[in-house]
Chains A and B, each alone.
Chain A
Amino acid sequence: MSTPGTTALPDGGLKNPGAGLITLDPVHTALLHGLDDLLTGLAARLAAPEVTGPPLLSVDSLARLDFFRNFPHLGVSAGRFTPEALDGLAAGEEPGGLPLTPTGYLLPSATCYGLLLSLEGRDVGEGGLRLSAAGRCFRNETHYDGLRRLWGFHMREVLYLGTKQGAVEHLESGAGFVGELADRLGLALTRATADDPFYDKGGSRARLMALDPVKHEFSAPDGTAIASVNRHRNFFGERLGIRAGSHGPAYSACVAFGVERWVHAMILAHGTPEAALDRVREAARTRPPA
């Protein structure tokens, strides 16, 4: 049992360690968990089993997925201090400015990469495969903005691999779920085509995407995109040798949720974190069967 004195936060609340990095207080954390729990409703509806992706991704694997051609600016690297620096650090030397050696790994920038890479060379069968996962994702940004744009954030995804038609149906299911959940939470969302944050916005991939959007986003009234539906055609299936039985290279698609952004959208819609949390709890009590 805790006493009131141990549960109250000190004056000034919890400090944040730097730009784009936020420590969530108890109410915001309850919102994050409550919303994430509601978002798992899509996986339940689609019978997508929950898995846990790897915490780091190899740069060699990401290169095979054109990650660096598309998003060289986003990658947050896992580096380690050089062996020569360790004695100095242990003796109290300041770590800032000391060289880091690359480990060959990046922190994930999206949850589905780790899942896709885990299926390399596999056959997902005629009926395809769905997987659900949430993970902390990291992206270098030019600016950070509260819960709207963080250096690290939670991304929940439901991934599908299988046939071309199955991918289309997966995204239709995802879009339907987003609309229904938004209604239950009192969120007004608008759906629009969207660009991935390509480094070369005039490049071939960005130009084709402008003609044939493969990403749609659902945004709060202030423009914050809180969910997206994404189709990859058979790109990952081909690059990673993932087959869908006799259909050949698997087509894939994913539905993605930025969970901190759902927290932001709920507070925007309901005025205060407490009011937003009441609404989340009400939605959880009235959750329809999967």
Chain B
Amino acid sequence: MERISDWLHEKNPGLDGPIDADEDLIEARLIDSMDFLEFIDLLEDLTGDTIDLQEVTIDDFRTLNRVRARFLDATGPAAAPAAAG
């Protein structure tokens, strides 16, 4: 999670302190739409798996907790239910 947190802080230099694990990253635009594919690349790099955008929902990316549960705690995206949220 540290690399994700670092990435979010790098993209949002105005952020002070840690990001709440339940903060809505999408709605608050901590993941800006222009950076969304870069965030996917980061997750793929971290997990070593490809993420098929046809098999995920926006809620999979909505908070740090959801990202962890969907992509990092599982053995890979294929192991998690496609509509986990």
Contacts and interface: CB of A to CB of B under 8 A. Distances in A.
Interface string B41-74: 0000000000001001110010000000000000
Nearest to A202: B37
A235 B26 CA distance: 11
A207 B26 contact: no
Contacts of B79: none
A207 B29 contact: no
Interface stretch (A23-31, A134-142, A209-217, A220-228): A209-217
Nearest to A235: B29
Given A164-B27, A235-B29, A238-B29, A211 B58 contact: yes
A216 to B, nearest CB: 15
Q: Could you say which interface size class chain A belongs to?
A: 10 to 19
B83 interface: no
A211 B53 CA distance: 8
A203 B36 CA distance: 9
Contacts of A66: 34
A205 B58 contact: no
Contacts of A208: 26, 33, 36, 58
Contacts of B58: 208, 211-212
Contacts of B61: 211
A233 interface: yes
B34 A204 contact: yes
A234 interface: yes
Nearest to A212: B58
Interface in A152-205: 164, 203-205
Contacts of B56: 211
A193 to B, nearest CB: 12
Nearest to B34: A204
Contacts of A238: 29
Contacts of B6: none
B35 A204 contact: yes
A69 B34 contact: yes
Nearest to B29: A233
A164 B27 CA distance: 8
B38 interface: yes
A208 B36 CA distance: 7
Interface of B: 26-29, 33-38, 53, 56-58, 61
28 contacts: A164-B27, A203-B37, A204-B34, A204-B35, A204-B36, A204-B37, A204-B38, A205-B33, A205-B34, A205-B36, A207-B36, A207-B37, A207-B53, A208-B26, A208-B33, A208-B36, A208-B58, A210-B53, A211-B57, A211-B58, A212-B26, A212-B58, A233-B26, A233-B28, A233-B29, A234-B28, A234-B29, A235-B33
